[in-house]
Amino acid sequence: MSWLETLRIGIEAVRTHRSRSALTVLGILIGIAAVILTVGLGQGTQNQVRDQINSLGSNLLVVTPGSATSSDGVRGGFGSASTLTVHDAEALASKDVAPDIAAVAPASQRSLSLTAGTSNWTTTVVGTTPDWLSVRARKIASGRFLTSQDITAQAAVVVLAASTAEQLFGGRDPVGATVAVSGVPMQVVGTLAAAGSSATANEDDQAILPISTAANRVFGGAARGSVQNIYLEASSSQTLSAAHQEATNTLLALHRVSTPAAADFTIASQQSILAAATSVDRTLTVLLGGIAAISLLVGGIGVMNIMLVSVTERIREIGLRKALGAPPRVIRRQFLVEASILGLTGGLAGAALGLLGDALLPHLISQRIDVSLPATVGAIVVAMGIGVGFGVYPASRAARLAPIDALRSE
């Protein structure tokens, strides 16, 4: 018997018992769709986190201060101390000290109220330098960004992010208008292009001031020279590790710290931030994928069950074929083809349902789902493999039947 004839008979056998075959296919379909969507959801979440972190800047290193201890011995978390200063940032910007650092942007921030005419809005006010724009990979939508002259003159100027400008001015261009930042009048000299939300903040809800203006005219306080973060941009992805080491050595020397373990600052790279942010997502993806894979096992057992029933119902047919000279391998092949058809049908239907879910679910749950073509093709192959794997025992059982015993059965 040719392969084509075997395939025709297999398709006919599946069609003869439509309801039974449909229920078997349904088990595989649900399992394949669940695996595709679960893995796609996990991958989409990881990609979304990676895009958010990458949007912070290219080849970025973030320096944060250490922890502070209060007078009664209560220790704050990382970033609670005032151990980083503008002087630290100036030292890191020196090519003689750190040749692999391309740009440096110190930053201090507060949550303050802004007023423009009758409109008011509370946002994150950031005091920084002109290099902040390139280090954070941001773009100007209108007007200009801060300049060195603004820093030197402690100019009363401000650059608004997209959402902040919308809240204060609606659809009007705010460039040239006056905004009161915590009661201090500032001229709007530019607006930032929209960047979306990062893992920690809404990047479109900010007001950017010259760092000298922010420290001396808006924030005030005793530690005006301290900063909350120093953003470093390595000259390339290949020099990121070298830039990290240069920044560490420079700050240890400036702070008179002898060993890295006693450092009063921390330096995080994009890779470390990304690894920390996606580790939980990856674990949940594996867990949920494993749970979804159990439904594939149930579907495979369904295939085995239906094939065993099929063997039992067709004992006389098997005996007749053997009596006419059909070898065991032909009988075995026949039932394996039928099991493969069930697996392939379930795999194709499950992949189609998974792709449909990929198109519809993000609009319903507001969560990104990334279903890849290799994963979809792999799922179909797995479904077919399940059909073959769980069809081996019923097929072998049919092939071992003795012709005389098969012909005697009722």
The pLDDT, as a whole number, for residue 407 is: 57
Query: What is the dihedral sign for C-alpha 166, 168, 173, 176?
Result: negative
Find all residues with CB under 8 Å of 382, minimum gap 6, and list them: 32, 296, 347
The pLDDT, as a whole number, for residue 188 is: 96
Task: Take residue 92 and report the two structure tokens written for it.
Answer: 């890191």
| Residue 164 to residue 206: CA distance in whole angstroms | 6
**Residues paired with residue 180 on neighbouring β-strands, in sequence order:** 115, 185
| DSSP E strand stretches across 117-263 | 119-128, 140-143, 157-160, 178-181, 184-192, 206-210, 229-234
- CA 398 to each of CA 5, 103, 313, 321: distance values in angstroms, whole numbers, following the listed order: 18, 74, 11, 11
The pLDDT, as a whole number, for residue 307 is: 77
| Residue 10 to residue 338: CA distance in whole angstroms | 5
Predicted model pTM: 0.59
Strands 229-234, 206-210: pairing kind: unpaired
| Residue 381 to residue 389: CA distance in whole angstroms | 12
Task: Take residue 320 and report the two structure tokens written for it.
Answer: 């007749």
The pLDDT, as a whole number, for residue 222 is: 65
Q: What is the mean pLDDT, run by run of 10 residues, along the chain of 410 residues? A: 73 78 84 83 75 65 72 46 86 92 93 93 95 91 95 95 93 93 94 75 89 91 82 86 91 89 83 63 72 75 79 72 75 81 87 87 80 80 82 76 61
| Residue 263 to residue 277: CA distance in whole angstroms | 24
C-alpha closest to that of 100 among 228, 230, 226, 248: 248
Q: Is 191 helix (H, G, I), strand (E, B) or coil?
A: strand
Domain boundaries, the chain: 3-52+278-408, 82-263
| Residue 375 to residue 121: CA distance in whole angstroms | 46
**Residues paired with residue 75 on neighbouring β-strands, in sequence order:** 69
Radius of gyration of the chain (CA): 33
Q: What is the DSSP letter of 194?
A: P
Find all residues with CB under 8 Å of 363, minimum gap 6, and list them: none
Per residue in 368-393, is it b (16+ CB within 10 Å) or e — as a string?
bbbbeeebbebbbebbbebbbbbbee
| DSSP E strand stretches across 251-346 | 265-269
Is 289 in contact with 42 (CB distance < 8 Å)?
A: yes
H-type alpha helices, 55-140 = 86-92, 132-135
Strands 206-210, 157-160: pairing kind: antiparallel
The pLDDT, as a whole number, for residue 70 is: 42
Q: Is 391 helix (H, G, I), strand (E, B) or coil?
A: helix
| Residue 232 to residue 255: CA distance in whole angstroms | 18
Query: What is the dihedral sign for C-alpha 165, 170, 175, 181?
Result: negative
| Residue 357 to residue 362: CA distance in whole angstroms | 8
